Amino acid sequence: MATTPTPTTRELLRRLLTAEGQNRPARTVELFGWLILCESVLIVFAPHLVASLLHLPPFVDQGDHYFRLVGLLVGGLGILYVVSGRLNSQEFVLASLFDRPAVPLVMLVLWYLRIVPGALAFAFSIQDGGSALWTWWARREQSRAVPLDSGQRVPGGSTAVRDR
């Protein structure tokens, strides 16, 4: 099995700045990252506005500070998605397709146990579930657009000829 050479730091920075070779599924992951990065900025700089939009209960004691910490964590996750999408990381795209569909189920359990308010659970479920479907669709469309030659390996190890 042939391995590809590890890109240099200069190549990675160039790809990060230009998004060279980025395919459609990686673009959807990057856009999802920008969305949650923007949300984190709102949470950090306007926690009371976000809380009122989500109909969260009023903050007690230092609740707004803890909410801002959550915003920082969400921002870090957003940066991870942006960079991975920008660098066309197919492994991260695949991993996100396993991760994001689980969020609605987790939010349902957290809402049922009264740990997370319903509006917040619904918002996270729609955002992650919808973006996962969008990435899955883009990945499916990309695999349809790439014709396979006879003898070319497909995921799973067999060889196949794709009908067009």
The Cα–Cα gap between 65 and 62 comes to: 5
pLDDT of 164 over the 60 cut: no
Within 8 A by CB and 6+ apart from 37, the residues are 75, 78, 79, 81, 82
In a domain, 13, yes or no: no
Find out whether 25 and 93 touch, Cβ atoms under 8 Å: yes
At 15 the pLDDT is 80
Mean pLDDT computed over every residue of the chain: 85
In a domain, 9, yes or no: no
What is the reported pTM? 0.75
In a domain, 1, yes or no: no
In a domain, 27, yes or no: yes
In a domain, 70, yes or no: yes
Instruction: Domain of residue 50: give its range.
Output: 22-143
- What is the pLDDT confidence band of residue 18, given thresholds at 50, 70 and 90? confident
pLDDT, one tens digit per residue, over 138-156 is: 888 888 876 555 555 545 4
In a domain, 157, yes or no: no
Is residue 4 classed exposed, middle or buried when 0-12, 13-18 and 19+ CB atoms within 10 A define those classes?
A: exposed
pLDDT of 157 over the 70 cut: no
At 161 the pLDDT is 45
Q: What percent of the chain has pLDDT over 90?
A: 47
Lowest mean pLDDT among 1-10, 56-65, 70-79: 1-10
In a domain, 78, yes or no: yes
Find out whether 86 and 30 touch, Cβ atoms under 8 Å: yes
Question: Residues 80, 34, 42, 51: is their CA dihedral positive or negative?
Answer: negative
The Cα–Cα gap between 109 and 116 comes to: 9
In a domain, 164, yes or no: no
pLDDT, one tens digit per residue, over 91-138 is: 999 998 888 889 999 999 999 999 888 988 998 899 998 988 999 998
pLDDT, one tens digit per residue, over 63-91 is: 999 999 999 999 999 999 999 999 988 89
pLDDT of 9 over the 50 cut: yes
At 64 the pLDDT is 92
Number of domains in the chain: 1
